Every structure is written in structure tokens, then in C-alpha cells.
Amino acid sequence: MNAVLSWAAPRRHLFVFGHMRSYSSLLCHILGSHPDIDGYCETHIKYRWYFDLVRLRRRVVKLTGEPLRGRYVLDKVLHDYPLAGSILRSPAARAIVLLRRPKATVRSIMNMGLRYSDIAWYRDVDAVARYYETRLSSLVRFADQMGGRAILLEAEELLSDTPSVLARLAGFLELGEPLKSTYRRFAHTGKAGYGDPSENIARGERLLREAQPGGGEGLVREAQRGGGEGLVREAHQVEATSRGPEIIVPEPIVARLDQIYRARTAALRDRLQPRSRSA
């Protein structure tokens, strides 16, 4: 009876819309460790009508092994599964739109394909580039329907400006407690098909710290907004191109995807940022 009441209680649905290798597993583990939020991984649900939101609640209970406790039920959506406009337009829906710069993303997907997955297209640079381009277009379409109920997050900010990002997300979601840069290990943490399959995410340790020079487990150079490169500590996930075969993304592909990234990011800022401040 308690389980049935838990599913039936009024709740909002929190979608993390992103693409593969956008630090979405890290973000969702942080979110799912908050007492107001249930869920931490991909459920692979196809949202065709309202009943699929009930399926989400059941799936989250199964994946966490715990009853629902919070105000939000979370799903991470990284692929173009069916997603009804009525669900996106629902007043009970909230979304974080997450995207990462293209060169690092393409290299990371291909590295995942070499080390963790037998899915052939993950190792095909043209197929990965098409996935990235198509997915960013989808994120803009979602933003068109959600407006002020969604917020934009550029993935690099999660690592380079962690406290500010978590404070901004907590404010957007109107959480009763701050978000913390620590997270729990869940039942399917580190398992392929549910999120990041790397060893680091499975440790369930404190993985985010303020970016400072000197020390730390992994130092990754990420292009920062405004030009140039910034040194960011990424203890979450060592991007392992240096530990395996070097992955070369052809410059014409990088240039094309950079242009698409700038255009889609500008479109998302135009649709989401001004409205999200007043949401």
C-alpha cells in the first residue's frame, strides 16, 4: 500500500537532456543523492503518453531499490527516443539541458567504444559526429517547448565552477537543501546501459573539487567559454585517450561541429536563460 501511495503522490518530473559523455552521470548522481530527488540514471523509457510517467516512477523504484521519497523523479535522456510534446509542456516537468564541447565529446565517445562497448558506431568518427549534431538539434527543440521550466548547463562549468553551478541548479529546482559535490553509489552505478561505465564513477567517492593548480588525480584541459584553455581538475573521470590509442578527430569535422555547437548554444541561451531567471 505504501508503495502504491508513493507512486501516486504528486511529484514533478526532472529530465536531464544531454548527450553521451557530457558528464551527465556525474550530474545525475549528484542530483539523485539529494533527498528531494529520486533517480540517477537512464531508464530508456519512450514517453508517448502520460502513463509513461507512471512507468518512470516504477522504473526508478526498481533501479534504486528504494521507495520514492522526494519531490522530483529523475530520468536522464541522451538519445532521441519518442518524447511527447504534452509531457514537455506539462507544468510538472523540469529539465536541465546539458551539453559539452564537440571535440572532447567525440573523442570520449570513441574512447568509450574502444574500451567499454562493443557498439560499432561508437568507434566511427562520422557516425559519432552525426549523433552529436542530431542530438544538439533535439535539445533546441525541447527548449522550444519547455521555456522557463528548463535551464542550460554547459558541461565544463560543472567541473570548473562547481559551487556556483550547484547553487544555480538548487535555486532553479527550489530545493530545500543545497546540492553537494559528493554522491552515493547506487545499484547500477558504473554499469553499461545506465550511465558512465568507467571505474571512477563506481567508487562513489568525493569527485569534484574547486579547480586549482597542483595535485589531484586527473588534470584535463578543457576549452573554456570566452576562448583559451583552462586547467580543470576532473577527478570524476580520467579521459583516457592518453592511456590508449590516440584518437584523432579530423579538423574539418571539428570545425563543422564547433560551428554547430556555437549556434545551438546561442539558441539555447536565447530560449532558456532569460526565462529561467524568472521561473
pLDDT band for position 36 (cuts 50, 70, 90): very high
pLDDT band for position 117 (cuts 50, 70, 90): confident
CATH for 2-278, among 3.30.1370, 3.40.50, 1.10.3470, 2.60.40?
A: 3.40.50
Least Cα distance to 180 among 160, 207, 213, 155 occurs for: 207
Mean pLDDT computed over 150-161: 94
Instruction: Please provide the size of the chain in residues.
Output: 279
CB atoms near residue 205 (< 10 Å): 13
- Please state the domain extents for the chain: 2-278
Q: What CA–CA distance (Å, rounded) separates 143 from 123?
A: 30
What average pLDDT is seen over the chain? 82
Asked if the model's pLDDT at residue 171 lies above 80, the reply is yes
Asked if the model's pLDDT at residue 167 lies above 60, the reply is yes
Report the DSSP pairing between strands 150-154 and 219-223.
unpaired
Q: What is the pTM of this model?
A: 0.83
Which residue did the predictor score with more confidence, 175 or 279? 175
The predicted-structure confidence for 177-228, as pLDDT tens digits, reads as follows: 999 988 888 877 877 776 676 666 755 444 454 333 333 333 333 333 333 2
Asked if the model's pLDDT at residue 77 lies above 80, the reply is yes
Percent of the chain with pLDDT over 70: 75
Mean pLDDT computed over 31-56: 96
pLDDT band for position 273 (cuts 50, 70, 90): low
CB atoms near residue 158 (< 10 Å): 25
Q: Which residues contact 131 (CB under 8 A, 6 or more apart)?
A: 19, 20, 109, 121
Which residue did the predictor score with more confidence, 1 or 213? 1
Task: Count how many Cα atoms sit within 13 Å of the Cα of residue 136 in the half-sphere of its side chain.
Answer: 24
Asked if the model's pLDDT at residue 45 lies above 70, the reply is yes
* pLDDT given at position 156: 95
Asked if the model's pLDDT at residue 238 lies above 50, the reply is no
